[in-house]
Structure formats: structure tokens, C-alpha cells
Amino acid sequence: MKVLDNLLSTLPDGKIVQVCIGSHWTAVVAEIDGARRCGLASSLTNECYRHGEPDVPQAGHLETLSGLELAAMSRSEQPVLASVGVAAVNALIPPQPAAWVGLNAEEVIAEHGENKTVVLIGHFPFIPRLRARVGELIVLEKRPEPGDLPANAAFNVIPDAGVVAITGTTLINHTLDDLLELCSPQAHVILLGPSVPLSPILFDHGIDLLCGSVVIDIEPVLRTVTQAGNFPQVHRAGVRLVSMTHH
């Protein structure tokens, strides 16, 4: 977990104010130097629930942990805890608004993917539009939809891709490091989705563009997360989409 460990080593600590684990999204609010910040991550769950065994052993008491203790849960093999951990990482990362740009991931993929093979890891809503704008679009997905390839096809298709766009969820399920190792040094590599940590540390691992999210209105976002809001709903409640480029 080189990427995660590198990220964790750079974070400031903070006081955990609130943890919300919704059906689709997990949100963590931390207070650092008197300012409250909220981080998001996809809510991953155990596919095999064992009756009586808790997904979150500290349920009801997560706010008693420090920010760094919660962020360290990102290394957990328990998906719910890893989701909480990545949301905490996103809450603790110092904002760098001067480095945020308004790039659109779909447009960047289309621009760099013209006449090239594009591998997209994760099933994103813009796939039908994007397919007509690039040389070839290959979609890898753990739960493949019609036209997708299974995730284990990564070894066959990523090394030859000119553009590789990876969902931030791979940081939660601990597949990101292996996927990055498969990328050609010449490939344009994008990490995208609301779970993506907006930290320049990620550029040290061969990523060229980060497309993530910043919570700008915490209370409405928390309400929407806890009421099983999907991302368009959470976005409308108070999230700004921002990108960071590797200069």
C-alpha cells in the first residue's frame, strides 16, 4: 500500500467531529486549527455478511479516535473501515485551492485518448459519450456490465493503453498500487471520482491528473449522505468538483 502509506505519512492530525456511513457514500468531518473540513469516500461493504459480526467494531465511538487513527483505517481489509479511513484522509488533507483547476475528466480523457486505446477502471456515466471520442475504450469493472471486461483483464489491457483512468475507489479496495505498476511510462494516468485525495503526493506515483471533490456545504452533504443519497444528490447538496494537474 505504498500510495496510502505515503499519503498517511504527510497528514496533519485533527479532531474528528462526525462520521456518517451512508449506503453509497461515507463522510468524515474533522476539525484542524479551528476549521472544519469534510472528506468523502465511496461506501464499500462486505459482500459476505456474517450474522453477529460487526462491520465497525467501534460503531458509536468513532468520534473518540484522532484524525490520524481514523485515517489509518484506510489500510483495513474490512471494506467499511477502509471507506471511513479514506474519507478521513480526504478530510485531513490541507486544502490547496490555488492548485485546483476546473478540468473535466471526460474532456481530458477524450483529448488525450484521440486515436488511442483508453482503459477506464470503474463504470462511469459518461462511458457512452466517451466511446465515440477515443480510438478504443476498454472498461474494466469488478461487477461487469454489458460491454465491460472483468477487473482481472487489467494485466492484458493496461500495459498497452495510451490513457488509463482509474476510479478513486481503488484506493479503498487496495488495488491502486498494482494498477499503477501496470501502466506504461508513456501513458497519461488519471485518478478520478469523489474518493480521490487531492494531494500532490499522488503525483510521485506516476499519476498525471487528479479529479476529485471538495465539500463546500457540510451540513446538507451529511444529511444527504445519511439518507442514502447517490453522488448527483450529494453533489447538489454542496460538493464542488475540482482537479489538480502534475506540473
CATH code matching the domain that covers 99-211, chosen among 3.40.50.11590, 3.40.640.10, 3.90.1010.20, 3.40.50.2300? 3.40.50.11590
The residues near 70 (Cβ < 8 Å, ≥ 6 apart) are 16, 19, 28, 62, 84, 85, 88
How far apart (Å, rounded) are the C-alpha atoms in residues 164 and 183?
7
Q: What is the pLDDT of residue 154?
A: 95
Specify the pLDDT at position 246: 83
pLDDT at position 55 is 84
**Which pLDDT value is given to residue 56?**
86
CB atoms under 10 Å from CB of 236, counted, come to 12
Which residue spans of the chain are classified as CATH 3.40.50.11590? 99-211
For 168-220, write each residue's pLDDT tens digit. Answer: 999 999 999 999 999 999 999 999 999 999 999 999 999 999 999 999 999 99
pLDDT at res. 48 = 63
CATH class of domain segment(s) 2-95+213-242 = alpha beta
d(CA 151, CA 206) in angstroms, rounded, equals 21
Distances (CA, A) of 67 to 28, 31, 139, 183, 219: 9, 9, 35, 33, 19
**Dihedral of CA 226/231/232/238: which sign?**
positive
Q: At what angle do helices 231-238 and 218-226 cross, to 10 degrees?
A: 160
Mean per-residue pLDDT, 69-94: 97
DSSP E strand boundaries for the chain: 15-21, 25-32, 35-42, 117-121, 136-141, 149-150, 163-167, 188-192, 209-215, 239-245
237-247 average pLDDT score: 92
Going from the C-alpha of 130 to that of each of 28, 102, 127, 138, the distances in angstroms are 32, 19, 5, 11
**Could you tell me the three cell numbers for 24?**
453509497
Residues 91, 97, 101, 104: what is their CA dihedral angle, to the nearest 10 degrees?
30
Query: Could you give the percent of the chain with pLDDT greater than 90?
Result: 86
Closest CA to 209 of 86, 106, 82: 106
pLDDT of residue 54: 81
Residues of the chain with CATH 3.30.390: 2-95+213-242
Measured between alpha carbons, how far is 152 from 168 in angstroms, rounded to an integer?
17
CB 200 within 8 A of CB 7: no
Query: 167 forms bridges with which residues in the sheet?
Result: 192
